[in-house]
Amino acid sequence: MQCFAKSDRGAVRKENQDRAAGARIRRKGCVVGVVCDGMGGANGGNVASAIAIKVIADRIVDTYRDGMTETSLRHMLEAAVSAANIEIFDAAADNLDLLGMGTTVVAVIAGGNKAYIAHVGDSRAYMAGTGGFDQITLDHSVVQAMVEKGQLTQSEARNHPRKHFLTRALGVEEDVECDFTAVDFSGDDLLLLCTDGLTNMVETDDIYAVIRASSPEDVPDALIAAANMAGGSDNITAVGFTCA
């Protein structure tokens, strides 16, 4: 397993509140990856995403054991996300300057021809293979809820004025529910974790075209360049995983 990551503040923002982490765990070739997009002002967004990255990555690395079942891996991911949520919530309660801060998260454990993914918010996971490009996660957002109810098309959702309004984020409330997905992951597949600074600027078909035209180690740089060429209105983070 290999992991390639890049984060950029974009062409407009003065700072980068995105955070990303990746690490190899144990000796079986498994990797863990976490991507977060902070929110809540200049200080709050940075603090929330930094807390989430550290707590989740540390919890996974510390508790992972070879041979864990899918159920155990799910419980481990959910516990790590919950721990990060509590720590962010408590930090905001202790400091009025941080009140209202929060962060998205998409976290993965990949190995053994499978990827196990937990997410909260609108940072996404995609699987790119020779057969196409599939979005694994569904955004926790007002606009996505409207799409699911048939009130908007995906095309209309892309430019909707409420597309940034989240229905779930870490640290906003004392408890949070994360979604979990397990997918096959092998061969020439590339698993992509990214923030909305990429997906709001580059069309899905174009993201896939960039991935297919790039070597795995160059994918994050190429995707960030494409987002910046399109305007780079937000921070941009892309993390790619391969089975090689």
Q: What is the mean pLDDT of residues 134-151?
A: 85
Q: Measured between alpha carbons, how far is 84 from 54 in angstroms, rounded to an integer?
A: 8
- Each residue's pLDDT tens digit, 196-229: 999 999 999 999 999 999 999 999 999 999 999 9
pLDDT digits (tens, 9 = 90+) for 45-91: 999 999 999 999 999 989 998 889 999 999 999 999 999 999 999 99
Q: Tell me what the pLDDT averaged over the chain comes to.
A: 91
What is the pTM (predicted TM-score) of this model?
0.93
Taking the C-alpha atoms of residue 77 and residue 125, their distance in angstroms, rounded to an integer, is 15
Q: In this predicted structure, which of 34-43, 123-132, 234-243 has the lowest mean pLDDT? A: 34-43
Does residue 27 surpass a pLDDT of 60? no
Average pLDDT over residues 94-106: 92
